[in-house]
């Protein structure tokens, strides 16, 4: 994302009230996006959805005004999961979709994500085009050409039906007792409906948003409440979404966490056993080595992308594969949807359970996660740690010691002045020692 002034790896994000997350900027962004997306000779429309943050109302109005000034119609979806906007953008044949959300962050943050007309994240060229329009002053089109705004009243129902359509009609969940944690976020009104209509006995936590409690002690970034609820209710499993619904993590019946790496393995291994995997699997640089070893042993190709779902998607498209994901629970299942979707991913896991006749705890046992140690080394400024001879030599020694049963990763954070040192292998004591030694070398090598 070199050269971007506003766009990061997943849109534009920051603290509410601090540039660029201000009403003035959002007005300008709406106009700039309208100019970039609209095509001559046709009526153009853009969908806007949001999560449950209080600030979403303010930014929704500002974006609407900017798009209208550019001569683009606006369809307002209200609080909806991020992947729902991707889906509805396609079905409405809209020019683009906009999501107002800061995902798993607290309420005091917010941001903007864009989807193309195909329901995919924007490519670099289109983001650059939007930024170029941001450098120009707003020019309001003629009053007869202003964009119109309308609200899509049936958006939740449309998305619920879409989610159910991603699994076979014969799938029923009437044998399952499930706890859903909606993170007081965008899935609060649609996820319970999806799983109940498929027959599950559903209990719900984190489904009372007040504009300020999104992701607060609930959701995929805080599984404590879900673990307790699963154990207390005797549920078969628990499902946790993040604030905007594009991630999912699970809890098995004894309250043990099942992360995105394990869920990716569960889906991949079951699909492979049925000869419907369609190629290999894409993880990221942070995917646990246990996933790679388990899939490779089965004969499934595995490839690592840079951290971020857009990079996972890039590799899937390049390879013509369908399945990839991250340990955070952000999974891409291309034969079901065009972007990461927490509800759809959860349904694919439950489909695997149904087809195998096994529990979540049983299916996850096919992969052994290797111990992993992460140390963040704070530096004065970001740099490539492997460009330093002493660091490169230390990494080489560590990799020799670990052999084929371990892995070392050093990378600069994309958002903070940190060098992330990650080591994984079979012996927890060894990897902790190696990680601390490497962190010390990096710290002493800081420019």
Give the catalytic positions in this structure. Answer: 103
Q: Which residue is associated with the tokens 């707003």? A: 138
Strands 201-205 and 109-115: unpaired
Chain centroid offset of residue 119 CA: 14
Residue 413 CA: distances (Å) to CA of 27, 86, 108, 418, 420: 30, 28, 22, 5, 7
Do 155 and 86 contact (CB within 8 A), yes or no? no
Q: Which residue is associated with the tokens 């149904």? A: 354
DSSP states along 388-409: SHHHHHHHHHHHHHHGGG-EEE
Q: Which residue is associated with the tokens 């951290």? A: 307
Do 4 and 127 contact (CB within 8 A), yes or no? yes
DSSP states along 329-348: S-EEETTT-SS--HHHHHHH
Element (H, E) at 133: helix 124-134
Do 239 and 250 contact (CB within 8 A), yes or no? yes
Do 246 and 159 contact (CB within 8 A), yes or no? no
Q: Give the CA count within 13 Å in the CB-facing half-sphere of 302.
A: 24
């Amino acid at each position: 994302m070199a050269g971007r002034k506003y766009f990061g790896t997943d849109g534009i994000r920051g603290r509410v009230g601090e540039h660029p997350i201000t009403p003035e900027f959002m007005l300008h962004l709406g106009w700039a996006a309208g100019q970039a997306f609209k095509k001559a000779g046709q009526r153009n429309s853009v969908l806007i959805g949001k999560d449950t943050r209080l600030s979403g109302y303010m930014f929704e109005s500002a974006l609407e005004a900017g798009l209208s000034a550019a001569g683009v119609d606006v369809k307002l979806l209200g609080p909806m999961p991020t992947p729902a906007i991707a889906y509805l953008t396609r079905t409405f044949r809209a020019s683009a979709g906009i999501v107002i959300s800061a995902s798993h962050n607290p309420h005091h943050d917010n941001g903007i994500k864009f989807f193309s007309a195909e329901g995919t994240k924007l490519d670099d060229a289109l983001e650059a085009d939007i930024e170029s329009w941001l450098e120009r002053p707003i020019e309001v089109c003629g009053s007869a050409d202003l964009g119109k705004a309308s609200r899509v009243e049936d958006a939740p129902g449309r998305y619920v039906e879409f989610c159910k359509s991603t699994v076979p009609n014969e799938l029923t969940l009437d044998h399952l007792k499930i706890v859903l944690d909606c993170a007081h976020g965008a899935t609060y009104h649609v996820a319970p409906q999806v799983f109940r209509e498929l027959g599950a006995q559903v209990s719900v936590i984190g489904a009372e948003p007040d504009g300020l409690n999104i992701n607060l002690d609930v959701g995929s970034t805080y599984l404590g409440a879900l673990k307790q609820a699963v154990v207390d209710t005797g549920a078969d499993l628990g499902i946790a979404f993040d604030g905007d619904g594009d991630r999912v993590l699970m809890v098995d019946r004894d309250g043990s966490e099942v992360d995105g790496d394990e869920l990716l393995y569960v889906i991949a291994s079951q699909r492979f056993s049925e000869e419907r995997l369609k190629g290999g699997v894409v993880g990221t640089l942070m995917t646990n080595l246990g996933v790679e070893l388990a899939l490779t042993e089965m004969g499934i190709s595995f490839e690592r992308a840079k951290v971020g779902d857009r990079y996972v998607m890039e590799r899937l498209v390049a390879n013509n594969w369908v399945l990839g994901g991250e340990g955070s629970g952000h999974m891409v299942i291309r034969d079901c949807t065009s972007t990461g979707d927490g509800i759809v991913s959860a349904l694919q896991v439950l489909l695997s359970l149904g087809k195998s006749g096994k529990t979540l705890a049983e299916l996850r046992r096919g992969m052994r996660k290797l111990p992993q140690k992460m140390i963040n080394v704070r530096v004065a400024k970001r740099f490539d740690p492997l460009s330093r001879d002493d660091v490169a030599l230390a990494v080489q020694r560590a990799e020799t010691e670990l052999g084929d049963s371990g892995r070392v990763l050093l990378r600069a954070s994309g958002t903070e002045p940190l060098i992330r040192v990650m080591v994984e292998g079979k012996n927890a004591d060894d990897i902790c020692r190696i990680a601390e030694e490497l962190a010390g070398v990096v710290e002493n090598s800081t420019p």
